[in-house]
Structure 1
Amino acid sequence: MPIPQTFEALRTHQTAEGQVQSRLETLRLDDLSAGEVVVRTRYAGVNYKDCLSLHGRAKIIASYPRVAGIELVGEVLASSVASFEPGQAVLVHGFQTGIAFDGGFSACVRVPAAHVQAVPQGLTPHEAAVIGVPGFTAAMALERFIELGIAPGTGSVAMSGAGGAVGLLGTAILARAGYRVAAITRRMAQEERLRAIGAHEVIDAAVLDAAQRPLEKPRFAAAIDNVGGPMLSWLLRSMADGGAVASVGNAAGNSYEGSVLPFIMRRAQLFGIVANAPVEQRKRLWTKLAVEWKPDMAAVLPHVQHIALGALMEHSARQLDGASSGRVLVDFSR
């Protein structure tokens, strides 16, 4: 397929007064940041970080104008390096994509070759897009748990923010890897859905509204926290001896209150995850996500929403307001 002369993109600008505005535009290839590989975008995942960028709600984008979108899956249209060839299915995430380099919210992208990875055998392009950054984030946390000796038989793994994309994919991936998952959500109407994707237990996040103690009942061997704030504090206080918490998100805020007691009395560990891993780790984890950690797609797909690029601004506003759930993909065939 030839490179299109023009294509549609959602481009974000900043005015002289500092106001951030995002709008649909018709672009040419030379309007995009430089790169050796030209990709026709098939799917672009919509993450909370992207929504903040589009509406100027946080200082994420490094320079303007910029096409946001921190991840994409598509097909190579042209490449000046031998490692990629036209028609090859590829994925891109991390490496400041959508931040310092133009990202996925464009029907065509130009990407540095070092930022591009082939879709691994065992995944279709659509499955790779569904997993995307949320699933890769969960995989990074899971690999760290294993390194710390937290095996499937050690105890339950808590997954906060279970109604969102990270929670959805994290629950499915942990279950596929053999772990008992305790999904935490304020939307208890979703209990049946969460059990269908692999949760053994669903906990009402209203537990945070109860009286809090310096140390709670030890109930989790590990946790992936996508929320931050009081949830992160509660999870740390609820760790069993030697438990570990992966902090991967901050939907409830950047700070949390806590004490040293979980670390001293129960040897708890807290570590952070950002889905911008070194190349070798990317290849290793995507290979696992394509085989032994591949989520049950039949269970996950009913909770994946596809939208057109033209609907992204409206959707992203709802996502920032907490009015969306599950995984959302911009589908460029729409």
Structure 2
Amino acid sequence: MTTFRAFRIHNDGSSCHAGIEAMDTDALTPGEVLVKVAYSSVNYKDALAGTGKGRILRQYPLNGGIDVAGHVAASIDPRFKEGDAVLCTGSGLSETRDGGYAEYARLDARWTIPLPATLDLRESMVLGTAGFTAALALLHMLDNGQTPALGPIAVTGASGGVGQLAIDIFSRAGYEVHAISGKADHFAHLESLGAAACIDRHQLAFSGKPMDSARFGGALDNVGGAMLAGLLPLIEPYGNVAICGNAGGIAFDSTVMPFIIRGVNLLGVASAGTARHMRERVWQYLAGDWKPRHLARVATREATLDELPEVFDRMLAGDSFGRTVVRVAA
């Protein structure tokens, strides 16, 4: 049994509170692989969970952090031995089991991924759930026939963590990327990540027609709502729109016309519960042909466990940019 520090989230039925606590490894949620954590990351979901402003946790108390990377400290699963570098994203972390905002985490072996040789632990957490989501979207699109020849890929919410990594990943994979963002002051940065064009969402006028002149070969949409409805009539025949976010709302008003006239496909990207064989494919791509070339530019901040409340507040206030890596190991 080892005592360690953890950012733990409680709910007494009337309010949520969270902070640094001492706990023992024996108190961690069950799992076959005990990991000494080196890094985690901050996602919007983490900010909601850590402040109690979103109903993320399904049980209390739990350690926050939906991403984790570190070295195996002990394992009862023969696939993992002490000292192995591993990572895990989603898979119930900070929802039904203790997450990565702690010096130790106990993982379910089914969802524990050996760190690919061409990634280090910090790089894996710059990617984290955000990079995994972007790459999973591209994999779904490829499996459904997306090719660069269909035309440029629109990436909405391009200034966010998923958006920035998607620009780098899709352009690395050979696609022309058009970044859509409401933050025009970030356009130079988005271009430095590989965006061939930047479009101000405030100046993006949708016609409202069921069908319009095709403009994009496909799209990765982080926004949903009116943005998704506006994009669908602009997609080339047999192009794919992968949806992975709902910043603009969970409902959208559209017609069947893009689907039955142009054969456009709407693909859902559910990264948290992705099957093991798909996880392995995605991480091999992220460590290989799709490895972003500009990870250092995307990771704009490194924080400690003690600094998490400040990071959460800034993120929820819309005052964060890029990816925040959480350095857990001393």
> What CA distance in whole angstroms lies between the structure 2 residues aligned with 1:210 and 1:290?
37
Deviations 1:178-237 (A, max 9, x none): 000011111111111111111111111113566644434311111111111121112112
Worse-matched range after superposition: 100-109 or 79-88:
79-88
Confirm whether residue 319 of structure 1 aligns to residue 315 of structure 2: yes
User: Match for 1:11 among 8, 29, 35?
Assistant: 8
Confirm or deny: 8 A CA contact 1:208 1:230 kept in the other structure. Answer: no
The offset of 1:110, in angstroms, is: 1.2
> What CA distance in whole angstroms lies between the structure 2 residues aligned with 1:282 and 1:16?
35
Confirm whether residue 295 of structure 1 aligns to residue 325 of structure 2: no
Confirm or deny: 8 A CA contact 1:208 1:234 kept in the other structure. Answer: no
Deviations 1:237-283 (A, max 9, x none): 22122221111011222122222232233222112111122111111
Deviations 1:2-47 (A, max 9, x none): x7x3211111111132x22212111111221111211111111211
> What CA distance in whole angstroms lies between the structure 2 residues aligned with 1:194 and 1:10?
33
Find the residue that maps to 1:240 and give its secondary structure: coil
Confirm or deny: 8 A CA contact 1:42 1:75 kept in the other structure. Answer: yes
User: Match for 2:235 among 232, 235, 239?
Assistant: 239
Per the normalisation by structure 1, the TM-score is 0.93
Query: Aligned residue for 1:281?
Result: 278
| Paired amino acid for 2:8 | R
Find the residue that maps to 2:54 and give its secondary structure: coil
Q: Which has the higher contact order (CA 8 A, sep 6+)?
A: 2
- Give ranges in structure 1 of 5+ residues lacking alignment: none
Query: Aligned residue for 1:148?
Result: 144
User: Match for 2:70 among 64, 67, 74?
Assistant: 74
Relative to structure 1, the CA distance from residue 51 to residue 179 in structure 2 (aligned partners, 3 Å threshold; closer, same or farther) is: same
The count of aligned residue pairs is 328
The offset of 1:99, in angstroms, is: 0.6
Per the normalisation by structure 2, the TM-score is 0.94
Deviations 1:158-177 (A, max 9, x none): 11111111001111000110
Confirm or deny: 8 A CA contact 2:123 2:295 kept in the other structure. Answer: no
Confirm whether residue 94 of structure 1 aligns to residue 90 of structure 2: yes
Relative to structure 1, the CA distance from residue 224 to residue 210 in structure 2 (aligned partners, 3 Å threshold; closer, same or farther) is: closer
The offset of 1:109, in angstroms, is: 0.8
Confirm or deny: 8 A CA contact 1:154 1:221 kept in the other structure. Answer: yes
| Paired amino acid for 1:78 | A
> What CA distance in whole angstroms lies between the structure 2 residues aligned with 1:200 and 1:166?
17
Confirm whether residue 194 of structure 1 aligns to residue 190 of structure 2: yes
Confirm or deny: 8 A CA contact 2:165 2:298 kept in the other structure. Answer: no
Find the residue that maps to 1:242 and give its secondary structure: coil
Q: What percent identity do the matched residue pairs reach?
A: 37
Query: Aligned residue for 2:81?
Result: 85
What's the C-alpha RMSD, in Å, of the aligned pairs? 1.6
> What CA distance in whole angstroms lies between the structure 1 residues aligned with 2:226 and 2:319?
21
| Paired amino acid for 1:41 | V
- Give ranges in structure 2 of 5+ residues lacking alignment: none
> What CA distance in whole angstroms lies between the structure 1 residues aligned with 2:173 and 2:13?
50
The offset of 1:119, in angstroms, is: 0.3
